[in-house]
């Protein structure tokens, strides 16, 4: 099953327990990072550009169900 992606007007909701706020998201992405190292060699990522991204799975933190999410409207969303 593919996980539907939330949009500006929608959010995830666990279809089993109704959780709206806490999920473990497994995501794979290709990212270009601008790494700036200080003189001690400590790296800091100053810019990130996401080239592509896909959500592999979403697990509910409350009931541990995997990929059992649906999209519902956000409160006050203009639909």
Q: Point out which residues bind Zn ion (CB under 5 A).
A: 14, 16-17, 19, 60, 62-63, 65
The residue (of 45 and 63) whose beta carbon lies closer to Zn ion is 63
The residue (of 20 and 74) whose beta carbon lies closer to Zn ion is 20
Residue 67 CB, nearest approach to Zn ion (Å): 11
The residue (of 31 and 66) whose beta carbon lies closer to Zn ion is 66
* Contact by Cβ (8 Å): 32, 53: no
**Dihedral sign (CA 61, 62, 63, 67):** negative
Residue 32 forms beta bridges with which residues?
49
The length of the chain in residues reads: 79
């Amino acid at each position: 099953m593919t996980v539907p992606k939330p949009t500006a007007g929608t959010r995830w909701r666990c279809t089993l327990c109704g959780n709206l706020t806490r999920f473990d998201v497994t995501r794979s992405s290709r990212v270009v990072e601008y790494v700036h190292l200080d003189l001690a060699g400590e790296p800091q990522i100053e810019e990130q550009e996401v080239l592509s991204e896909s959500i592999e799975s979403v697990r509910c933190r409350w009931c541990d169900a995997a990929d059992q999410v649906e999209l519902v409207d956000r409160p006050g969303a203009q639909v």
